[in-house]
Structure 1
Amino acid sequence: MQTVAAALTMVRDDAFFLKAWLRHYGEALGRENCYVVNHGRGAEVAELAEGCNIIGIPGDPHPNFDMKRWRMLNNLVHGLRCYYTHVIVGDVDELVVVDPASGKGLLDYLAETRPRRVLTPLGLEVIHRIDIEHDPITDHILGPRRHVRLAPHYSKPCVISAGVKIARGGHFTQHDTLIAPEDLYLFHLKFCDFETYVSVMNARNQVTEEVGVGVKEAAIGRHWFAEARGADRAVFDGFARLEMKEGFDLGWVRKRMARSWGPRGDTGFYNFQRPDYGGQYRLPERFVGVI
């Protein structure tokens, strides 16, 4: 049994994304090294995650949902680090990927990565171009979907091998050094499929409705609330209007991250500037089938 890396997430009902998460990390690390917090003890989650380490917790709605979630995930990461060199932690719709051009899989890549550090993959958001991408997603997401946009908000410090605290949402840690390897990406899947997006957002809106408080009173991501949602089709129609960028050399983004790196006020956390770069890229052929 390998002790190089474990993957950890928390999920409630999101079968589409959980299947992708399990396929990716189950194949890369082995299901016995995948840890799934089953929020609400859903039967479908338990069935899909068979062979993984499933932690069932109550699913009662709570206005401080995100705060409680990341307090628990922080403690689980610290515990898992007693047995694994690296722990990958994040939402179920976020997948860490090694560029196939490196010739390495995720496990081999991390086996060669020195410990006691925090890795920040470059965030890319997979977008569904509903005007030209008509094939449904079946076994893999990249193939039917080939377009991404830069997502600095999802360049998360999510590969942990140091004793650091992770901020709510997973966007910052207390590690004072930025390590953003050129071969490492984090693919955010929220917008990878229009029909799935509508279904997931309906479910999340229902959760926040059950909580019974507004955006300002809750420690829950703003995007979970109906009033912040916007018109679904308009969001996806807008992807076609993003400027198409040539090539796929994104080293300049990592350089900008490094130049703006510094303390996040007096919080003890560190961050970089996260501007809206705009535009979109078509993924090179080598990424097809990676997730």
Structure 2
Amino acid sequence: MKHAYIFPGQGSQFSGMGKNLYEKNPEAKDLFERANDILGFRISDLLFTGTDEDLKQTNVTQPAVFLHSAIAYATIPDARPDMVAGHSLGEFSALVANKTLQFEDALKLVSIRASAMQKACEINPSTMAAVLALDDAKVEAICKEIMEDTGEVVVPANFNCPRQLVISGSKKGIEIAIEKMKAAGAKRALVLPVGGAFHSPLMKPAKEELAAAIEATKFSEPICPVYQNVVAKAITSPEEIKTNLINQLTGAVRWTQLVQAMVADGATHFTEVGPGKVLQGLVSKIFKEAVVSGVS
């Protein structure tokens, strides 16, 4: 019986998140204030009182979700993870939890990642779409066929749980894909309200900027394995962790496969730390016997 701690990504944010922590926990308050100093603006004010629109900007959303997760984790008494994982951006929170990264270093990297991704979105207008109730292999095959036939970029970006995928690519590529997914029997295929094609080759400009920042940051030996998005298996080598974290920007989030690997390695209890309950729902769909809980 092993305990996995998992951390959500962009999209789980909500106005007011973290306010309770700030008001009731001195350690949490101190971490929020340190974050305000590091970022050079009062992100805590945006978390506690900002509108949904304020929190939607990539350069705000990513540090906001990271902070809520990392600070909530810091306030758990005697947290002893056997393994950790994070969905996309959540991988940074996971790396703070298993002591690969210091809180301050992770926040700086998240801030650089967010602004680099924002810039990449502006260079290549692009988007993402959710595809429901179509087999993973079929979705992959349709994406491959569109890229070969049209030259438009469209790739599977998030394998969230069986038959629930997100695809990513150029606006034209996604448009073609939606029609083809529906024709192939998808229950739903719809464009998501995101700023660009995350986890696709269109994020290459952001990847180069993030890689330079990661290479300049100290990564320590973790206290437990991190199951990383792009390889969906346990990693403990700081050098491998760096490589996978860089490749994650242009590679797929293999959440289904990652949870299956955690279960195969003995995970029975999954605690989601941070805003929302999305990952608890996905874990329950991937492994029905899992004991799931949340800390927010």
Q: For the superposition of Structure 1 and Structure 2, which TM-score range results when normalised by the shorter chain? A: under 0.3
Higher RCO structure, 1 or 2 (CA under 8 Å, sep 6+): 2
TM-score (structure 2 length as normaliser): 0.26
